[in-house]
Amino acid sequence: MIQLSKNYTLPEREEEIIPIKIVGVGGAGANALDRIVLDGMEKADLIAINTDVQSLASSVAAHKVQLGRAVTRGLGAGGDPEVGQQAALESAEEIRPALANARMIFICTGLGGGTGSGAAPVVAQIAREAGSLVIVFATLPFSFEGKRRTAQAHAALGRLNQIAHAVICFENDRMGDMVAPKAGIHQAFAMADVTISQSARSIVNLIQRPGLIRIGFDDLLTALRSENGRCLFGFGESDSDNRAHDALRQALKNPLMDKGRMLADAAHVLVQVTGGPSMTLSEVEILMQELNRQVNEHTQILFGTAVDGRMGNRLAVTIISSLRAEIDVASDVAAPLPVPAPIWEQPQEAAAKIDILPQPPVLAPAPAPDLIPFEPPPPAAELPPPIAPVEKSRSRVIMPRKKSEPEEEPKPARQKFGQAKQEVLQFEPVTRGRFEKSEPTIIEGQDLDVPTFLRKNIRVK
Amino acid sequence: MASNDLVVGLEIGTSKICVVVGEGRPDGTLRILGVGQAPSRGVRKGEIVDFETAMKCVHEAVVDAEQKSDVMIRSIYVSVAGGHIQSFNNRGCVMVPEDRDEIDEQDIEDVKVSAREVSIPASNAFLHSIIQHYHVDGQDGVLNPVGMLGEKLEADFHIIHGVRNRIQNTIRCVKELPLEVEDVVFSALASAQVVLTQHQKNLGALVVDMGGGTTDYILYVDGAVKQSGVLGIGGDHVTNDISMALRIPMARAEKLKLEEGSCVLGNCLPGETILLKDDSGFAGKEIERETLNTIINLRVREIFELLKRKLEAEPFINYIGAGVFITGGCSLLDGIEHLAGESFEMPAHAAHAQTIAGLTSAFENPQFSTAIGLIKYAQAVQAERPARGFRRLIGKFFSYG
């Protein structure tokens, strides 16, 4: 007879190490990078890129790239994006090896100045060509810094939006809401860096933690996919008695979330709940119930959960989502860019680039490694070439549609995921009777408003 | 003037609101003149959730009390409860100034302030700082250091704090009536004043005030408060469980709990049933008595076990000599002292207000323990600090008036 041992355990799921690089572009980028180092992100390579040698020298990043030796001669870009861009283009060949071999590249930058606004799009372009997932954290200048700076920042933001997979944008003006009115100005500035660091860290954790319900690259892409839209991001952590509620509230409080109001318009919302071994099902359930109240009923929720011993008593919630822009700005220009150029497309791409980058030749010969690990377009994209040249004049209109084909492809997988999620989430319908609408009493991870006999699974009658 | 000694306690509970009017006599005893009550609406788990409705109910109860005791109520002591209330022990320390070596009143105030110099969440406010013991130059267990010689005065305090806005809500609810709020008192602290005698406090005792929405507790060892707090579970949860398990309305479940329910298992005949009658008196559903008792037992046992685990975080529960005293509406549940004794592994009693004179029907009802305790507390405070002091300190944290 065969006997099955009942106390077997599944092999521990290994943490998947994904090569990640974090790039700080410009002065603000370097500051953000410093903060990330302070907060401890040992899993990622940090690269500082700047025109200003002094700032570069004081950066803690292991890898440094100086931009525009000839153009700026080691000085800053002087607030002129043109100069920043020139400098970046000049040093493109130095940037490229620095960004190679990463599946995911975070670019932190402050827009509005010279290096940030000018060089960041170039860096993003190079990163994208290297076949990585590119997520940009950008800070927008304070409105008191003047209209011109704001205009420069928005122009750069527009470009980044077209190039990167996702742009998470922090408005400095809103940092005031996050710190106490009496807090020192350094604290307010530090807040922006802290938010960036926290966001980067939680995205990395999100992907690398072996989860009970895993969130993968594909889910992240889905959540972040927006045409020129706005990224919503929230992170909350709590170890109080009512930690599920508190963590969620904190996440929704994030300045990027606009108190959760914006979630109502989001098409996809990615939620990851991480806790120590003490995290209970009912906590997760309560949290998701509360979140569901914030989102539209058609919203697809990509849910993931992970147990991490290092979390101890804490419970953390990460919410990532994106809003569609009202007007689909320039998606025809944007579309060709991200796909690293099958050869037949070359002339068209160059044409498109001229719209964005006045001086593309340096970038154009990019020997694009043509495999992007997280997007499966090559087969689909290579099929239609015979048609493309014929329709060259119209191709701008058609291109986006073609591009959308490969993008559509992961959808069935996602829907399957969605269904799986529902199965998991359909717990025993836990009812709380007259306490349905009141604030839950959660002690030791149990929702005590639920009748004891239900929680202890004791059959009465 | 008699009205000077008039003290009124108000408890805004989850199931009922209760106002007790008492009269302090020159010899220090208390007499209850009248009790007013009204069913409570707009309160959940000890906290006000519907301000307007709660205010109306408080008004009803106050009017009721005025009629029954034949006095005008102007100012009132209010009890607060709710899951947000927390507590901890802290030691304060001050050095006696060089120019004198005798400890005076000012040093006592200073040491109290220094004990409060701890970080509580910004949204919280202090409710009480209760003195446990003083230490003078390392000499332990000093009860009253005023007049003693010493250089260093230390004091252990038990500090109770809660979310400021929720406490303010309770105060506002009374002030809108309009009535003067003399003080806010943590409900378990009030109950303990009348449920326990000084002797029991010295021996060590745990008071568990199980109300409708919350279970408040306070633990005394050596005559000093060592632990206190609130669990946001109470009699309503028991009723809710019954209502959900037997699929009967809340009101019916409540009646069933009071009339037929028991915490003790195995005390009824096998197959013994209770016939539920519908409104017209006709026979309705039949339920097994053991089922009902199991539901109650599971919930109440859980509350006790939870409480015990909470208390065991600190060593004081091992020094309880007098036992557990259960009061509040839930203590009327049949067999609850038996279950408590079993859970806490020490003698347990269902208790009501002891140290008071007047209407027996009032003080023998454990539902009124907190409100009666409030007037006892008020009397003690007034005797101790004739004019200023407490009000001044409290006034810093709750700016009423």
Select from A363, A334, A335, A341 the least CA-distant residue to A119. Answer: A363
Q: Is B236 at the interface with chain A, CB within 8 A?
A: yes
Task: Answer whether A284's CB lies under 8 Å from A304's CB.
Answer: no
> Are residue A69 and residue A202 in the same domain, yes or no?
yes
Instruction: Please state the rounded mean pLDDT for residues A251-267.
Output: 69
Cβ contact (<8 Å) for A441 and B44?
A: no
Measured between alpha carbons, how far is A165 from A125 in angstroms, rounded to an integer?
Answer: 11
Q: Look at residue A196 and tell me if it is in a domain.
A: yes
Q: Look at residue A155 and tell me if it is in a domain.
A: yes
Cβ contact (<8 Å) for A460 and B244?
A: no
Cβ contact (<8 Å) for B233 and A448?
A: yes
pLDDT over 80 at A41, yes or no: no
- Please compute, for residue A454, the number of CA atoms within 13 A of its CA located in the half-sphere on the CB side: 23
Can you give the residue range of the structural domain that contains A66?
Answer: 15-208
Cβ contact (<8 Å) for B240 and A456?
A: no
Cβ contact (<8 Å) for B231 and A452?
A: no
Q: Chain B residues with CB inside 8 Å of A428's CB?
A: none
| Residue whose pair of structure tokens reads 């004049």 in the numeric block | A393
Q: Look at residue A271 and tell me if it is in a domain.
A: no
Strand ranges (DSSP E) for B164-263?
Answer: 180-186, 205-210, 215-221, 224-231
Domain end residue (candidates: A208, A232, A266): A208
Q: What angle do CA A331, A333, A334 make, to 5 degrees?
A: 60
Burial class of residue A257, CB neighbours in 10 A (0-12, 13-18, 19+): buried
Helical segments of B88-196, H only: 105-115, 164-175, 187-195
- Hey, which of A165-169, A322-326, A388-392, B235-239 has the most confident mean pLDDT? B235-239
CATH number at A164 reads 3.40.50.1440
Give the number of residues written for chain B.
401
Cβ contact (<8 Å) for B243 and A433?
A: yes
Query: DSSP state, A189?
Result: H
Which of B45, B232, B302 has the CB atom closest to A452's CB atom? B302
Cβ contact (<8 Å) for B291 and A461?
A: yes
Q: Look at residue A289 and tell me if it is in a domain.
A: no
Cβ contact (<8 Å) for A434 and B243?
A: yes
Q: Look at residue A443 and tell me if it is in a domain.
A: no
**The pairing of beta strand A44-50 with beta strand A20-25:** parallel
Measured between alpha carbons, how far is B297 from A177 in angstroms, rounded to an integer?
Answer: 49
Measured between alpha carbons, how far is A96 from A100 in angstroms, rounded to an integer?
Answer: 6
Domain end residue (candidates: A408, A437, A453): A408
> Are residue A169 and residue A27 in the same domain, yes or no?
yes
Q: What is the pLDDT of residue A242?
A: 78
Which of B232, B244, B309 has the CB atom closest to A451's CB atom? B244
Report residue A208's pLDDT band, with 50, 70 and 90 as the boundaries: confident
Q: What angle do CA B335, B337, B340 make, to 5 degrees?
A: 115
Summarised one tens digit per residue, pLDDT across range A304-328 is 888 877 778 888 888 887 765 543 3
Q: Is B216 at the interface with chain A, CB within 8 A?
A: no
Q: Look at residue A142 and tell me if it is in a domain.
A: yes
Task: Answer whether A90's CB lies under 8 Å from A70's CB.
Answer: yes
Please name the residues between 95 and 154 in chain B that touch chain A, using a CB distance below 8 Å.
none
Query: DSSP state, A277?
Result: T
Domain end residue (candidates: A156, A176, A208): A208
pLDDT over 70 at A102, yes or no: yes
Spatial neighbors of A162 by CB under 8 A, at least 6 apart, are A228, A330, A333, A334, A337, A356
Q: Which domains does chain B have, with CATH numbers?
A: 86-162 (3.30.1490.110), 197-351 (3.30.420.40)
Which of A431, A441, A460 has the CB atom closest to B232's CB atom? A441
Q: How far is B243 from chain A (nearest CA, A)?
A: 8
Cβ contact (<8 Å) for A439 and B45?
A: yes
Cβ contact (<8 Å) for A456 and B241?
A: no
Q: The complex's ipTM?
A: 0.77
Q: Look at residue A437 and tell me if it is in a domain.
A: no
pLDDT over 70 at A21, yes or no: yes
Comparison of pLDDT for B13 and A343, the residue scoring more:
B13
Measured between alpha carbons, how far is B172 from B341 in angstroms, rounded to an integer?
Answer: 39
Measured between alpha carbons, how far is A447 from A244 in angstroms, rounded to an integer?
Answer: 11
Which 3-state string (H, E, C) describes A386-442? Answer: CHHHHCHHHHHHHHHHHHHHHHHCCHHHHHHHHHHHHHHHCCCCCCCHHHCCCCCCE
Q: Look at residue A85 and tell me if it is in a domain.
A: yes
| Residue whose pair of structure tokens reads 């027996």 in the numeric block | B360
Give, for all 401 residues of chain B, the pLDDT tens digit: 444 578 999 999 988 999 999 988 777 778 888 899 999 988 888 888 888 999 999 999 999 999 999 999 989 999 999 889 999 999 888 988 888 888 888 888 888 888 888 888 888 899 998 989 899 988 888 888 888 888 889 999 999 999 999 999 999 989 988 899 999 999 999 999 999 999 999 999 999 999 988 999 999 999 999 999 999 999 999 999 999 888 888 888 998 999 888 988 877 777 788 887 766 666 677 888 888 999 999 999 999 999 999 999 989 999 999 999 999 999 999 999 999 999 999 999 998 887 677 766 777 888 888 999 998 898 888 776 554 444 444 444 443 33
Q: How far is B113 from chain A (nearest CA, A)?
A: 25
Measured between alpha carbons, how far is B185 from B9 in angstroms, rounded to an integer?
Answer: 10
Counted domains in chain A: 2
A70 SS3 class: coil
Ranking A115-129, A408-422, B6-20 by mean pLDDT, the lowest is A408-422
Cβ-Cβ pairs closer than 8 A, A with B, add up to 67
Q: How far is B293 from chain A (nearest CA, A)?
A: 10
Q: What is the pLDDT of residue B395?
A: 42
Task: Answer whether B17's CB lies under 8 Å from B61's CB.
Answer: yes
Q: How far is A437 from chain B (nearest CA, A)?
A: 10
Q: Is B60 at the interface with chain A, CB within 8 A?
A: no
Q: How far is B383 from chain A (nearest CA, A)?
A: 39
